[in-house]
Structure 1
Amino acid sequence: MASFTFHYFIVHVLVKQIDDDLEIEQREIQTYVKKYNRLPEPIPVRDQVITHTPIPAPIKEQTFTSTTLFDSLSNGNGIFRQMVFSINVNGQWYKILVAKSEEDTDDLIEEILLIVLTTVIFMLLASFIINRIVLKRLWNPFYNMLESFNQFRLGKKQELNFKPTDIDEFELLRKTMQQTINKAESEYHILKEFTENASHEMQTPLAIIRSKLDLLIQDEALSETQSKMVQSAYSAIEKLNRLNQSLLLLTKIENSQFEKVSVINLKQKVEEKLAEFLELWDNQQVLVTAELKEITILMNNELADVLLNNLLSNATRHNYTGGRIAIFLDADHLRIVNSGNRHSLDEEKIFQRFYKSVQSSESNGLGLSIIKQICDVSGFTAIYGYEPGIHTFIIRW
């Protein structure tokens, strides 16, 4: 719309300029006739045509029009702007036609439009480049905060590099983010300390309760009903003790208390675990196959034991009598495949704490979260997959 308006304005101005030139030519003719009582002799001029024709009566009003005329100098037709008026010479009326070519005007319009278009493109390009530079510098504090925030991990004791800025809005955002993070860190540490303290404080009472129950179980004076009640209480205490041990282990992993790493022969480690689980699998009539390559990895030895124990325990606990377990050790991953429930586990929640596929399960729901935590601190990736009746866990390094 702006381009059309600009083009119309330029054309209007240039045509008005031609009309003014034609009026000047008219006045010169009128002055000449007044002085010499005759019409001036037509002189061939480039891009201009002047003709006079006798008429019986004067023309009512002069007119301006654009038309096609023959140009004798260029020997061809062209677009002209013409003015027609009448004049009396010694009692005879004449129609005078004065015309000027519009071709130069069209060329000038094209040149002006080209210059304007080039200028506009240049200005847009310059504006884009300047805006990119200015906006990048303007938004740089925001992107720095965003990058620092993306690298932030709760409980990792990280120092966030939120640099102060002169932009009020970004400074307010920086302060708000810093306050929010500080509050989250404080609440996290309070909760973490509570969990640690609770787990540690529970160990002594649990040990006392277990020892008392051991003595009760050995008491021959107990009736069958009392014996079952004591056995039930003992099972509950064992479950609570396992939960407590798992929470303590997670806390130690999060506190980076397993920083010592060494080169581990993973094939040998897996074979040792297979020997430990062999009796349990025989009792459950679970068929186990293993394809193991000679692989060494760099990780904490204790965490390697916990990782393998939890993976094999999970494959065993969620299997069924007569089921299968297949173990594959390759250059970049360990894969454990087991038969089990004919429903896929929730891939988004499976590694979360206290997640259970079956709420009535004897599992405390921490085994897979421990696996995930060990993978995170060791730089590994834990992956779960499912095909009908087959569950797969892959540890990739």
Structure 2
Amino acid sequence: MRLINKYTISYVLTSFLVLSIGFTIIYVAVKRSPIQSTIGKLRNLNTYVTSELQKGQSIEDLKTFNYVSIYKLGTDSLKIDEIISEQHQWNDQLRDSINLIKVTSFPYINHQLYKIESRASLIEADNEYLTGIFMVFAWTFIFLLSLVVLISQLISSRILAPFYRTLSAITSFNIEDKERFKLEKTTTYEFNRLNAFLEKMVKKSKSDYLSLKELTENTSHELQTPIAVIKAKIELLMQTDLNEYQLSELSVMYNELNRVSRLHHALNLLTKLEHFEITETPLNLSEVIENSLYSIHDLIEMREIRLYTAIEPHVYINFDKNLAEILFSNLINNALKHNQADGSIEVSLNSEKLVIKNTGKKPPFAPHLLFKRFKKDNQNTSSIGIGLAIVKKIADLYSYKVNYEYIEGKHILTLQF
């Protein structure tokens, strides 16, 4: 989920909670306000009657107030608190229930305790009235929430605009770019700190990458000459008059040196693939595979391995030709190395996938480990354990999926386009 949407959801939930509490308070207040208003008026009436009694007016003179009853209770000094009561009664004339509200006061006037009781009838709001109020609240609620969503989207998009620009710059960043990586200044302190940290990390990453690239290139260049010289010396020694033991040892040395040379070449290739820029040029993969199979046809026959092909013509996919040749070469060499006597290799290609099957023993480790570097069958000493790692890396460059299975005595490698 995008950050701006999380902000909006947070705003909506907060607004929903606040508005719900606010509307609940308003609803209760609207429902209770007529009662509270009536109680206030009755209190004022009791206060007025009390002031008239204090001025010397008699109870008889104050009987003109139809909604007030006045009683003398004696000279008892016991103070009685005000009493407020509500009583629902049925009214035959109105054909409805009314709320009879009474406010009773007990003032002392000239050492005389009085009881002043004022009353009023209140017709309570019916369900239709309350439903109308609720609908007003509901539509107001929906309008405010919609407004919150719109405003939060606008505000969040404006506040987060520098963040998204930074994210876009990081996403399009290429460590091989020669231009200086620079992020724009913002008015937000936290974004400026983030941009400064990213600029520092990118600068360090570029420096480390250039140092590593230079070391790799120098090492690759410097190793080629001594390896070639040592191989030439061993070949010359093997042509001299040596006994069987000496020839055997030189042969082992020569094979190990070849293995070091292949390993050196494979590691250099993996390093280059880390920063390889892919092309979107369609390639006739059918032609590449047929040419590769033709070049190793003699080797397959010499190993006495049966080859079956089902290659559809003119299968075009986005692929660099050199990488395609390396990928298929590693796959077919893997099928040869891990095959068995009187075995077989099956190669099939269509517009959706490339499948290579070969007979052989079941690997002694989990299938997902097959594409790790230096993961190989210990019985196969000629393998350097990087071939399938290179295949996986090339496939990842083009977002193709490579999968391995072992079914009914056959290794099955599938490259899905």
Q: Which band: TM-score by shorter chain?
A: 0.7 to 0.9
In 2 relative to 1, CA 346–123 (structure 1 residues): closer, same or farther, beyond 3 Å? same
Q: Percent identity among equivalent residues?
A: 23
State the secondary structure of the residue aligned to 1:39. Answer: helix
Task: From 43, 64, 68, give the equivalent of 2:88.
Answer: 68
Q: Could you tell me how far 1:353 is from its partner in structure 2?
A: 4.2
Measure, in 2, the Cα distance between the counterparts of 1:290 and 1:158. Answer: 49
Task: From 178, 181, 204, give the equivalent of 1:183.
Answer: 204
Task: From 194, 209, 213, give the equivalent of 1:173.
Answer: 194
Summarize the alignment of residues 241-390 of structure 1 with structure 2, pairs less than 5 Å apart: 241-250=261-270, 263-264=283-284, 266-297=285-316, 299-343=319-363, 350-358=370-378, 361-376=381-396, 379=398, 381-388=400-407, 389-390=409-410
Are the aligned partners of 2:347 and 2:355 in contact in 1 as well (CA < 8 Å)?
Answer: yes
Summarize the alignment of residues 121-270 of structure 1 with structure 2, pairs less than 5 Å apart: 122-123=143-144, 125-152=146-173, 154-155=175-176, 162-219=183-240, 221-250=241-270, 263-264=283-284, 266-270=285-289
State the secondary structure of the residue aligned to 1:149. Answer: helix
Are the aligned partners of 2:91 and 2:98 in contact in 1 as well (CA < 8 Å)?
Answer: yes
Measure, in 2, the Cα distance between the counterparts of 1:268 and 1:2. Answer: 72
Measure, in 2, the Cα distance between the counterparts of 1:207 and 1:94. Answer: 123
TM-score (norm 2): 0.73
Q: State the one-letter code of the partner of 1:39.
A: K
State the secondary structure of the residue aligned to 1:180. Answer: helix
In 2 relative to 1, CA 317–115 (structure 1 residues): closer, same or farther, beyond 3 Å? same
Q: State the one-letter code of the partner of 1:229.
A: E
In 2 relative to 1, CA 371–155 (structure 1 residues): closer, same or farther, beyond 3 Å? farther
Q: CA RMSD in A?
A: 4.4
Are the aligned partners of 1:252 and 1:258 in contact in 2 as well (CA < 8 Å)?
Answer: no
Measure, in 1, the Cα distance between the counterparts of 2:190 and 2:385. Answer: 45
Structure 2: runs of 5 or more not aligned: 1-19, 107-113
Measure, in 1, the Cα distance between the counterparts of 2:362 and 2:177. Answer: 39
In 2 relative to 1, CA 6–269 (structure 1 residues): closer, same or farther, beyond 3 Å? closer
Q: State the one-letter code of the partner of 2:120.
A: A
Measure, in 2, the Cα distance between the counterparts of 1:99 and 1:342. Answer: 97
In 2 relative to 1, CA 169–233 (structure 1 residues): closer, same or farther, beyond 3 Å? same
Measure, in 1, the Cα distance between the counterparts of 2:63 and 2:277. Answer: 115
Q: State the one-letter code of the partner of 2:416.
A: R
TM-score (norm 1): 0.76
More deviation, 329-338/365-374? 365-374
Are the aligned partners of 1:326 and 1:336 in contact in 2 as well (CA < 8 Å)?
Answer: yes
Are the aligned partners of 1:328 and 1:334 in contact in 2 as well (CA < 8 Å)?
Answer: yes
In 2 relative to 1, CA 276–229 (structure 1 residues): closer, same or farther, beyond 3 Å? same
Measure, in 2, the Cα distance between the counterparts of 1:100 and 1:257. Answer: 88
Q: State the one-letter code of the partner of 1:204.
A: T
Measure, in 1, the Cα distance between the counterparts of 2:388 and 2:139. Answer: 65
Write the deviation string for residues 264-303 of structure 1: whole angstroms up to 9, x where unpaired: 3x33432333333334334444333211111243544433
In 2 relative to 1, CA 38–331 (structure 1 residues): closer, same or farther, beyond 3 Å? closer
Q: Could you tell me how far 1:146 is from its partner in structure 2?
A: 2.9
Measure, in 2, the Cα distance between the counterparts of 1:376 and 1:157. Answer: 25
Measure, in 1, the Cα distance between the counterparts of 2:395 and 2:132. Answer: 70
Are the aligned partners of 2:306 and 2:343 in contact in 1 as well (CA < 8 Å)?
Answer: yes
Write the deviation string for residues 319-348 of structure 1: whole angstroms up to 9, x where unpaired: 222333221110132111223342476566
Task: From 105, 114, 122, give the equivalent of 1:101.
Answer: 122
Q: Could you tell me how far 1:118 is from its partner in structure 2?
A: 6.2
Measure, in 2, the Cα distance between the counterparts of 1:38 and 1:254. Answer: 103
Partner of 1:40: 64
Write the deviation string for residues 146-186 of structure 1: whole angstroms up to 9, x where unpaired: 34334445557687563322212111111112211221222
Are the aligned partners of 1:336 and 1:393 in contact in 2 as well (CA < 8 Å)?
Answer: yes
Are the aligned partners of 2:45 and 2:118 in contact in 1 as well (CA < 8 Å)?
Answer: no
Are the aligned partners of 1:152 and 1:158 in contact in 2 as well (CA < 8 Å)?
Answer: no
In 2 relative to 1, CA 382–157 (structure 1 residues): closer, same or farther, beyond 3 Å? farther
Q: Could you tell me how far 1:65 is from its partner in structure 2?
A: 0.8
In 2 relative to 1, CA 376–76 (structure 1 residues): closer, same or farther, beyond 3 Å? closer
In 2 relative to 1, CA 140–39 (structure 1 residues): closer, same or farther, beyond 3 Å? same
Aligned length: 381
